[in-house]
Amino acid sequence: MMKKMKFAFAPILLLLTLGACSDQEETKSEENTAPETTEETAGENTPTESALELPEQKDVVVVVNEEEILGKVYNSVARQLESSLTAQGQDVSEDENAALVKEQALSVLIGNKVILQDAAKKGYQADEKIVEERLEELKSQFESTEVMDKALKETGFTLADMEVQLREQSIYEQYVAEEVTAGEVTDEEVKTAYDGFAETSEEEAPAFEEMEPTIRTSLEEQKTQEAVVVQIEELKKTAEIEVNI
């Protein structure tokens, strides 16, 4: 059975989806020396068929405090969850796994929306410099504008949509940094985590001193995510949420 996966921010998943498209394009370029036709490239870059029952891109799948979330956004999250599940050797066509993907995708979308709505009420704004840098980074993943436009079209998004997503990501990060308080990671927790890793590792584990910074950072991120979930649940108590799928 698939374990529940928590994602902090849906637009990051969308970027990963687009990144996968560009990675495929780069791999083809490295492996093939002969030039390819546009038709050949289009065929190979077409996303594989999903085993999930997905809504139409323009369908309204969720409404949160009168703000609509469309099928294309849900699908980008669900497909990323599907990829993660498939990579674990699980069959997403099984009813239990498909239901869990749906549950997690909706959880991500609703959680992101209530956070962004609260951030808007409190006056948070995107850091336009960071947004521009990330947009240029996204563009640089693709060999050409044509390849990028094709990848965007396949997901149902435009470059303008991506700019909106990146602005929301910037706002979300600022909100979490200022409004969410996570518990401190203790030395004991770090040592316990290291001991657990060392006991289960098939190879000899690196020295504690070498791994301590990485373990501490990982535990801090975990506690932050747990605190975000608590914040989301609190915001959901007063939110009007309508799920249409």
Residue range of the domain that includes 65: 10-181
Alpha helices in the chain (DSSP H): 10-31, 38-45, 71-87, 95-121, 128-140, 145-155, 159-179, 187-200, 208-236
Would residue 31 count as lying in a domain?
yes
- Give the span between the Cα atoms of 190 and 53, in whole angstroms: 42
* pLDDT exceeds 60 at position 148: yes
Structural domain includes residue 219: no
CATH number at residue 45: 1.10.4030.10
Across 69-76, average pLDDT: 91
CA–CA dist 126, 21 (Å, integer): 27
Distance CA 45, CA 154 (A): 9
- Domains held by the chain: number: 1
Contact 244, 61 (CB under 8 A): yes
Q: Is residue 173 part of a domain?
A: yes
Cross-strand partners of 243: 62
pLDDT band at 5; cut points 50, 70, 90: very low
The answer as to whether 171 is a domain residue is yes
- Candidates 231, 224, 245, 220; CA nearest to 177 is 224
Q: Judge whether 40 lies within some domain.
A: yes
**pLDDT score recorded for residue 83:** 86
At 29, is the pLDDT very low, low, confident or very high (cuts 50, 70, 90)? Answer: very low
Residue 239 lies in a domain: no
Phi, psi of 68 (to 5 degrees): -90, 145
Residue 240 domain-assigned (yes or no): no
Q: For the whole model, what pTM was predicted? A: 0.75
Tell me if 116 is assigned to some domain.
Answer: yes
Q: For 84-123, write each residue's pLDDT tens digit.
A: 888 888 888 888 989 999 999 999 999 999 999 999 999 9
Going 3 to 9 to 12 to 13, the CA torsion angle's sign is: positive
Which residue type sits at 197? F
Q: How sure is the predictor about 22, in pLDDT bands with cuts at 50, 70 and 90?
A: very low
215: Cβ contacts below 8 Å, ≥ 6 apart:
190, 193, 194, 197
